[in-house]
Structures are given as C-alpha cells and as structure tokens.
C-alpha cells in the first residue's frame, strides 16, 4: 500500500463572522436583542455545558469564503461529509489517496477544531472492487483499509465512525460485502483493527433511526452490549439524527441516549438535520426549531452525550434536496447563510443569555415590554421537598411571538441534598406536551439562585395581547430532600397571579422580561 504523504498548504485563518439579526428573526420582535457584537458561538455555548457543537463540511464548499468563515468560527468540530469515505480514500485496492481528507484536517487544525472521521466501513460509497472480491479476501481488504486510513489520521481524528449503518430498519443486520463475508463479526474485527491503528481515537458505531427507542435502537443496544461484554474496543454510539418534521420527533430520545450512556459508552449526535416538505413556512420552521431544541435538550440532559454535529450548517450545501425530492430547508442557516429560527432555538437551548461568555451568568440589561411573566406559588409549604411555581406568559407587544424561541427561568436554591432534579408540568390550558422544563445549575450561582427551572415550548405562537394561561410546574431533587424556598430569588407568597420581575423571560436567548439575580 502507498500512503500519500501529508502536505499542509498554508491557509489564512477564516475571519470571525458576527451573526447579527438571528435573535430578532426568531420572533419578529420589535425590541430585538441587544447588540450581537460579541455574541458567543454555538460551540462557545456548547462548551460552557461541556459539549462540542460541530458541522459536517465538504471540499467543494471550502472555496466559498463566507461559508468557510462561518464554518471556522461558529463550530468547534467538523466532519468530512464525503472525503474520508472508502470510494475517495481507496478507489483502487492498495492505492490510497488522502488528499481531500487532509484538506479537512488542515482546516480543522487552522481553526482549532476537532475532527470526527467518517467513515471506515460502510456499505455505501464503497468502490466496486470491494464487492467484487471473493469473500475470503474481504476481511483482509477491510483490515488493510482501516489500518491505512486510521494510521494516516492518527492524532488528527479524535473519533472515528468505524462502522456506519450496520442495521436494517427492523433491527436485522444489513447485508453488505462485509456482513456477507464475515457475518456480524465484521463489526468487532473492524473496531479491533481501528484500535490497533489508532489507540487514542474514540471508536463509534454510527447509524440513523437509532435516536429514539425502537427496534433499530434495541438492536444497536444489544450489539454494543455484546461487544462490550466481549472486550471489543468501542467508545460510543453515533446517532445520525436525520430528522423530518413530517415523521415526528424520535420516541424518548433522552432516555434512549441514557441507556447507551449507562453501558459506559459515549453518545454523539453525528449528522443532525431536520428536513420538511417544501415549501417551508413559518409553522414548519417553528416545528423544526423545536426539533433542533429538543435534540440539544436531550444531549444536555445526558452527561455522556459528548456533542452535536449538524450535517452541514446551511441549506446551501445540504444533501437533503438531492436525496429526498421535494424536501429541504433542513439546516440552521438558509441558502444565503442567514440564521433561521432554528438557529435561535439552538442557542436558547444551549443556555444562551445574550452575553459573550458562553452561557448564563446574568447581568443583561434586557428589553422592556414584549412579554411578561406572571407568577404565583402553587403550594404554601415553603419547606417541603417540592417547589411548585405557577407561571403565565403574556404578550404585551404588537407582534406575535413564536413560543419555541421563548424560555422562562424560575430561580431557586437547591439547598442541601442531591444536585440532580426531576421536573414536571402538571397542567396547562396550552397542554403540557407543548411545554418543556428542566433544572439547570446556574453558571454564576447566587445566594437564593444557584439553579433555575427553565421552561420552554415545542410549538405555538402567542398573538399580541394573548396569554399562555397557567402553567402548573413542579420540581424536586432526586433524593426528595427538602428545600428552604423562603430565600429563593423567584419565590413569592402571593395567592394570585401577579407580574413577577424575578422570573426572567428570554426570546432567542435575549432577556426581554425581569431582572436576573
């Protein structure tokens, strides 16, 4: 085999690009956010939560300077969309060509990004010679391929999708030259070969439609459980997450991720996009926003979810329209590289507070009007093991507000006991299924406010003058130890709903109501 020698052309670093207007776009707010001059990037926000935020890219896109600048600035990780696949790297047996992949790893190094290598063993984009081999030669060809490629990228690729798409939809193994020659053992053999070539790379099995619970993810769960039992080197499961709003959100994504994490594996969202039937409209884009936000929420809620990669960040370079005729608009930015509502929703889900320091620390000025929060305590026991805020939102502005762009924070202190929480929505006229909730540890904890209950929405629009009606929320620590609510920042004792300046409201991540602690 011949290993093409690395050449490292020097490229000027991409200019940092400021994303302006994304937040206002989310809801068409009159007031809009404060200046976006030093806005955190998606990766900054994710990093503040211990995750990365990345994008796929492809060689033909890189000469597009505006595209490359944003790719280099907004994202902390990149995945080559095509240039590390077998048909590119070993089109003829034993003749390796890593030139295109090297362009991607060079770009990453110049922009301080990590690289997910994609992919070593896959039934697709496989040169014809592999399928034409006598089955007795397939294992050697596979091992040679993995060894050459993983050795070449040693130290440059942080994680490999060693095996891609091993399953059919019903959870049976997909036939391929590899499966046909070796049965399911090809997966263990591939992982061992990759580990031998690059012992430091994180090794993944990657597939689609394994994001939620179902036959296919059950099959993945059984496979990886067996591999771990056998001592096969495996670090993680990649969930591609090519979602479509017309098919619904994956069933129990967070719990599904958690069951893999509980095996001791990392989980990564590797190819996220959310397509829709064209033409796009505001309602579809709002649904799309909520899907993106729910994926972020699921990853943030699972400690071993290491990060999220979007399958390119702009509709301009999406694989969707050519693969799914009539569908598209799947990405965070539009064809003109302008951020879409989903971009704001992702920022909000990542905990953006409009500051430039990677997440929440309070201290924004805020914009008066537009939305206000009303609050009452739904329990009178301030010393028991549950906190029950009742909240309502009212649109006091003149423009409709898209609820997926909105988040609300009820600030409290966790006191002693467990630092993990459960939260519930007990009732709301808008339906608890529309309401998301989670407890977040404040990045700048204050007395009476080291945590907040964050409330969000999966859909809906609040017309001018309209109100959500009551949202009956509840939270507790997982050890059910007591709180002392009397000193909590957002806590009040009034028996009826009243304007609550200590409950804060955000649109597209910008504070629009209340005073942070």
CA distances to 98, 144, 358, 371 from 344, rounded to whole Å, are 37, 45, 15, 17
307/509 with CB nearer ligand XIL? 307
Q: Does 271 bind ligand XIL (CB under 6 A)?
A: yes
Q: Does 319 bind ligand XIL (CB under 6 A)?
A: yes
Token pair for 349: 């889900």
Residues that bind ligand XIL (rule: CB under 6 A) add up to a total of 6
116/451 with CB nearer ligand XIL? 116
Pairing of strands 202-207, 159-164: parallel
125/481 with CB nearer ligand XIL? 125
Catalytic residue among 271, 454, 470, 485: 271
470 given a catalytic annotation: no
Closest distance between ligand XIL and the C-beta of residue 387, in Å? 43
- Contact between 96 and 153 (Cβ < 8 Å): no
Closest distance between ligand XIL and the C-beta of residue 115, in Å? 15
Which residues 16-75 are close enough to bind ligand XIL by CB under 6 A? Answer: none
Closest distance between ligand XIL and the C-beta of residue 160, in Å? 13
Q: Does 82 bind ligand XIL (CB under 6 A)?
A: yes
At a CB cut-off of 8 Å and minimum separation 6, what does 287 contact? 245, 276, 459
What SS3 class is residue 94?
coil
What SS3 class is residue 504?
strand
Chain residue whose CB lies nearest ligand XIL: 319
**Can you name the residues that pair with 277 across neighbouring β-strands?**
327
241/442 with CB nearer ligand XIL? 241
d(CA 237, CA 128): 28
Q: Does 164 bind ligand XIL (CB under 6 A)?
A: yes
What SS3 class is residue 328?
strand
At a CB cut-off of 8 Å and minimum separation 6, what does 328 contact? 275, 276, 278, 280, 315, 318, 320, 321
Q: Does 389 bind ligand XIL (CB under 6 A)?
A: no
Closest distance between ligand XIL and the C-beta of residue 209, in Å? 11
> What are the two backbone dihedrals, phi and then psi, of residue 224, each rounded to the nearest 5 degrees?
-70, -30
Closest distance between ligand XIL and the C-beta of residue 101, in Å? 13
Q: Which of 33, 72, 80, 81 binds ligand XIL (CB under 6 A)?
A: 81
Q: Does 211 bind ligand XIL (CB under 6 A)?
A: no
DSSP letter assigned to residue 330: -
Token pair for 18: 């400021």
320/473 with CB nearer ligand XIL? 320
44/165 with CB nearer ligand XIL? 165
Q: Does 240 bind ligand XIL (CB under 6 A)?
A: yes
Start-to-end CA distance of the chain, whole Å, equals 63
Closest distance between ligand XIL and the C-beta of residue 312, in Å? 7
d(CA 154, CA 176): 27
Listed in order, strand segments (DSSP E) in 131-179 are 159-164
List residues near ligand XIL by CB under 6 A.
81-82, 164, 240, 271, 319
Active site residues: 271
């Amino acid at each position: 085999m011949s290993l093409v020698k690395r050449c490292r052309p020097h490229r000027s670093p991409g200019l940092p690009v400021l994303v302006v207007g994304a937040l206002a776009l989310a809801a068409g707010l009159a007031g809009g956010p404060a200046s976006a001059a030093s806005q955190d990037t998606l990766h900054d926000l994710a990093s503040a939560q211990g995750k990365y935020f990345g994008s796929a890219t492809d060689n033909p896109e890189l000469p597009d300077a505006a595209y490359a600048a944003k790719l280099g600035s907004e994202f902390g990780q990149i995945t080559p969309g095509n240039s590390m696949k077998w048909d590119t790297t070993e089109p003829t047996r034993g003749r390796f060509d890593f030139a295109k992949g090297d362009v991607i790893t060079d770009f990453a190094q110049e922009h301080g990004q990590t690289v997910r290598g994609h992919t070593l063993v896959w039934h697709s984009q496989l040169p014809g010679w592999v399928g034409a081999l006598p089955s007795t030669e397939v294992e050697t060809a596979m091992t040679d391929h993995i060894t050459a490629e993983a050795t070449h990228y040693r130290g440059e690729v942080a994680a490999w999708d060693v095996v891609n798409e091993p399953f059919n939809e019903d959870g049976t193994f997909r036939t391929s030259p590899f499966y046909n020659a070796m049965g399911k053992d090809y997966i263990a053999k591939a992982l061992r070969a990759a580990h031998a070539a690059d012992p430091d790379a994180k090794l993944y099995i990657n597939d689609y439609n394994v994001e939620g619970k179902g036959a296919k993810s059950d099959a993945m769960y059984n496979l990886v459980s067996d591999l771990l039992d056998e001592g096969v080197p495996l670090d993680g499961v990649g969930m591609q997450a090519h979602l479509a709003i017309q098919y619904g959100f994956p069933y129990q994504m967070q719990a599904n991720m958690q069951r893999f994490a509980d095996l001791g594996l990392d989980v990564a969202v590797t190819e996220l996009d959310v397509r829709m039937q064209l033409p796009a409209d505001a309602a579809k884009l709002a649904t799309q926003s909520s899907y993106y936000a729910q994926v972020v929420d699921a990853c943030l809620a699972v400690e071993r979810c290491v990060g999220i990669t979007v399958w390119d960040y702009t509709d301009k370079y999406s694989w969707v329209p050519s693969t799914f005729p009539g569908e598209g608009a799947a990405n965070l930015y539009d064809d003109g590289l302008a951020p879409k509502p989903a971009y704001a929703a992702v920022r909000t889900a990542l905990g953006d507070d409009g500051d430039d320091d990677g997440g929440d620390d309070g201290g924004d000025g805020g914009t008066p009007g537009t939305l206000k929060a009303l609050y009452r305590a739904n329990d009178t026991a301030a010393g028991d093991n549950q906190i029950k805020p009742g909240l309502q939102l009212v649109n006091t502005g003149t423009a409709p507000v898209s609820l997926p762009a909105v988040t609300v924070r009820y600030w409290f202190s966790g006191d002693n006991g467990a630092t993990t929480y459960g939260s519930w929505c007990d009732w709301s006229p808008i339906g608890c299924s529309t309401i998301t909730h989670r407890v977040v540890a404040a990045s700048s904890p204050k007395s009476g406010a080291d945590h907040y209950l964050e409330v969000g929405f999966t859909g809906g629009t609040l017309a001018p003058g309209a109100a959500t009606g009551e949202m009956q929320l509840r939270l507790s620590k997982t050890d059910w130890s007591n709180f002392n609510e009397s000193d909590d920042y957002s806590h009040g004792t009034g028996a009826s709903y009243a304007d609550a300046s200590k409950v804060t409201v955000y649109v597209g991540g910008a504070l629009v109501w209340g005073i942070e602690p």
